[in-house]
Amino acid sequence: MKLPAKIQTILTYLLVPVLLIIAVAAIYYGSIPEKYPLTVGDTSPYDITASRSIRDKAATDQRANKAAADVEIVVVRSEAIVAEVMGRFDLFFDQIAALRTELFPEPGSDADPDQPAASDATIRNLVTELVRDFDRDMGLVVSSDDLEIFLRMDPERFRSVRGHARSIATLIMSEPVDSYSLNSALSNRIESLGDTTNFNREDVSLIGNVLGLILVPNIAYDSIATENARQAAFDKVQNNPVLINRGARIISQGDVITSETYELLEELDLIETDGFDFRYLMGILLMVLPLAFIAWFYLKKYENESIHLRNNRIALIVAILIPLVASAALARIEPLASPIYFTAVLLAAYYGFRTSSLMALLLTIAILPMAGFDPLFAVVALSGSSVAALFTKGISRRDNYAYIIIATASTNFITTLAFGILLKEEWPTISLNCAITSLSGTISVIAAIGIMPLFEMIFNSVSPLRLIELSQPGNPLLRRLFIEAPGTSQHSMMVANLADAAAEAVGANPLLARVGAYYHDIGKLESPMMFTENQSGENPHDALDPAESARIILGHPDAGVRIARRYRLPSPLINIIQEHHGSTMQAFFYQKAKRLAEENETEEPDASLFRYRCPVPSSRESAIVMLSDSVEAAMKSTSTHQLEAAESLIRRIIKIKNEQDQLVHSGLSFRDIETIIASFLQVYAGHFHERVKYPDANPVRQ
């Protein structure tokens, strides 16, 4: 029963949220791992493995803390220390210089020239006081012998010693030095001074002794830099955490649950709680919504004609939901066993390779959470479903079913094997995964092929596989047609050739057009001898009233529908059978009835009694069969054997169909009509054994 358009719209809007709820619920259930009633301190009665790859927080923190602790403290050159050291250096030599000035005034100074030179006892006393002052004021324990040398040396020598000492101090303090590097640098500089200058060896030692007292390490601890370095080391480990791979055992039976393992189980969502993970559910919903939008947008833009019928929409939804729900049930047992290839085969059969590939991709993304986001699942699912769709779309004979199964299983096996080798997995793991994916592909394809008849029965649709089956000469109905109505069978074969070529040329479904042509006249089986092509000799219509003859002829589409339903032919073929004459006039018997009425001087016959009462073609394939049927019948009845005459006849027939509005709902354009005419002529060119003459001013020699 056909529902009103408004009710269908309301049901569609109600169906959308229901489907989203089913999809989200299936993904949520399938991706939530099994939970365990455990607490800290319990002895686990289970062997628990990681449901997905996860960072080991405790091990990562331990490694990060060790990395931070191993970072040495950061020290930098301190300008304050350098300034303090150079200040002490200047103070040291300034005090000695001041004392030297008092003891030994230089010529031209304000000192009394008659003052006697300082005695040795005076110098020793001053040295003693100077040692005490340096120790008290600067913390320097200076040798009295060294100070006495400083006091007694001549001015030029003193200036030279001071200058060289300052140069060495400046050079050493210009670089960051610690205690070890300071002693090393000082030794190297003093040694170099002695080797490269004509210097008093006693003065070289003196400079070394003084600088050894004055110079100190000029580096200082940088707490901020040290903390930053330790934090960087900590973060580096945290950014490259210790991972627990999916499938790795976390808890063995009999292990005690520690706080660390409990925290790990919580993070994996393996602890049984009374709460509902709304956050996770929201994530699934946010993932499903764009996938649903992409699917809707694609179908609306590219498959709008295919999903216009309610049954087609339901078939599409069921084909997607079955593997989604099945994956939810299989996820906890073996995620790689998802039957996504089921969808690929069904959609390739009904909607083509492009639609099948896109829907398989979207379905793979939706199932990824159930597979623990395992990249192996995604790679195998996409490659296997692509091959399944390719072989399903390219199938041409019924016995090719095995090719789909073998190709899909082999692709899954090879892809899984390659992935395992590249990841350097263990051979037992690789073998198990190969077996699972191959078996999944095999069972999925077998299930899809097996369920197609059920789909056709429930949703009143037809697949290429079903059409191929119906096109076999051994089909009971075609065999009946060949035996009981051989002329009609021969006519149908020629119509099929024309329809196939025309459908291929305009981008319609050539297989549907061909098979529709095979069956379009099966209604003639009810009275085959009433049709000219099956007669040999006497024509039964010669003894019948034209109206009775017309009734018999006009009834064969309805008879064909009855036979088709009895033999359970799919709806698209029934439509072609019912529509292949549309509402055209049976002109022969109408003209005969008019002549008899004129001869008998009776009332002119009712034209409606001589008109087919069937719907006009509602699809391109149905219209192509109508044109092919009319053209082939006309060619036979006129015995046309020349291409020029054939083209004229074909154009006249199509013109009449257009004038009778037989093609208004077919979807054929004027360009399609011209293409169909050219394809008809191509077929008849081969039939007449002539080459088509193309209207080219400069024909190319062939």
* Cα–Cα distance for residue pair 587/610, rounded to 1 Å: 7
Strands 54-55, 75-77: pairing is unpaired
Mean of the pLDDT values across residues 97-115? Answer: 66
* Residue 693 in this model has a pLDDT that exceeds 70: no
What pLDDT does 4 receive? 58
* pLDDT band with cut points at 50, 70 and 90 for residue 599: confident
Residues 67, 222 contacting (CB under 8 angstroms): no
CA dihedral sign of residues 37, 43, 45, 51? positive
What pLDDT does 627 receive? 93
* Residue 616 in this model has a pLDDT that exceeds 80: yes
If you write DSSP's letter for every residue of 490-522 in order, what string do you get?
A: HHHHHHHHHHHHHHHHHTS-HHHHHHHHHHTTG
* pLDDT band with cut points at 50, 70 and 90 for residue 352: confident
CA-to-CA separations, 428 to 50, 417, 436, in angstroms, rounded: 19, 11, 12
At 243 the three-state DSSP class reads strand
Give burial (CB, 10 Å; 0-12/13-18/19+) of 67: middle
Those residues whose C-beta lies under 8 Å from the C-beta of residue 29, and which sit 6 or more positions away, are 328
Amino acid at 540: P
* Residue 308 in this model has a pLDDT that exceeds 70: no
* Cα–Cα distance for residue pair 273/196, rounded to 1 Å: 83
At 336 the three-state DSSP class reads helix
* Cα–Cα distance for residue pair 36/457, rounded to 1 Å: 45
More confident site: 13 or 110: 13
What pLDDT does 697 receive? 41
CA-to-CA separations, 263 to 250, 257, 274, 278, in angstroms, rounded: 12, 10, 17, 20
Residue 39 half-sphere exposure toward CB, CA atoms < 13 A: 1
* Residue 645 in this model has a pLDDT that exceeds 80: yes
If you search the block for the tokens 């509005």, which residue do you land on?
Answer: 661
Mean of the pLDDT values across residues 199-208? Answer: 82
Q: What is the CA radius of gyration of the chain?
A: 50
* Cα–Cα distance for residue pair 255/261, rounded to 1 Å: 10
pTM of the model: 0.59
* Residue 698 in this model has a pLDDT that exceeds 90: no
* Interior/surface letters 453-488, b for 16+ CB within 10 angstroms, e for the rest: eebbeebebbbbbbbbebbeeebebbebbbeebebb
What pLDDT does 98 receive? 87
* pLDDT band with cut points at 50, 70 and 90 for residue 576: very high
- Residues 617-644: pLDDT tens digits? 988 899 999 999 999 988 888 888 888 8
Secondary structure element (H or E) that encloses residue 221, with its range: strand 219-221
* Residue 116 in this model has a pLDDT that exceeds 70: no
Rounded to the nearest 10 degrees, what angle do helices 120-133 and 144-152 cross at? 120
Mean of the pLDDT values across residues 51-78? Answer: 84
More confident site: 70 or 275: 70
- Residues 369-413: pLDDT tens digits? 988 788 899 999 999 999 999 888 756 555 567 888 999 999 999
Amino acid at 467: L
* Residue 114 in this model has a pLDDT that exceeds 60: no
Residues 306, 351 contacting (CB under 8 angstroms): yes
What pLDDT does 435 receive? 94
More confident site: 535 or 386: 386
Structural tokens at position 263: 């925290």
Domain residue extents for the chain = 79-215, 280-360+372-416, 467-533+543-688
* Residue 509 in this model has a pLDDT that exceeds 80: yes
CA-to-CA separations, 548 to 23, 525, 554, 609, in angstroms, rounded: 59, 18, 10, 10
By residue count, the chain amounts to 702
What pLDDT does 118 receive? 65
Q: Could you name the CATH architecture of 467-533+543-688?
A: Orthogonal Bundle (1.10)
* Residue 322 in this model has a pLDDT that exceeds 80: yes
At 43 the three-state DSSP class reads strand
* Residue 611 in this model has a pLDDT that exceeds 50: yes
What pLDDT does 294 receive? 93
Give Cα 253 to chain centroid, integer Å.
Answer: 39
- Residues 439-475: pLDDT tens digits? 999 999 999 988 887 777 666 567 777 788 888 888 8
Closest to 579 measured CA to CA, from 653, 529, 629: 629
Mean of the pLDDT values across residues 100-112? Answer: 65
* pLDDT band with cut points at 50, 70 and 90 for residue 53: confident
Q: Which residues pair with 55 in a beta bridge?
A: 243
Mean of the pLDDT values across residues 111-117? Answer: 53
Query: Residue 519 phi/psi, 5° resolution?
Result: -105, 0
What pLDDT does 446 receive? 92
Q: What is the mean pLDDT of the chain?
A: 84
More confident site: 352 or 27: 27
What pLDDT does 701 receive? 36
- Residues 128-187: pLDDT tens digits? 888 888 888 888 888 888 888 888 888 888 888 899 999 999 999 999 888 888 899 999
* Cα–Cα distance for residue pair 331/30, rounded to 1 Å: 6
* Cα–Cα distance for residue pair 117/120, rounded to 1 Å: 9
CA dihedral sign of residues 251, 256, 257, 261? negative
Give burial (CB, 10 Å; 0-12/13-18/19+) of 5: exposed
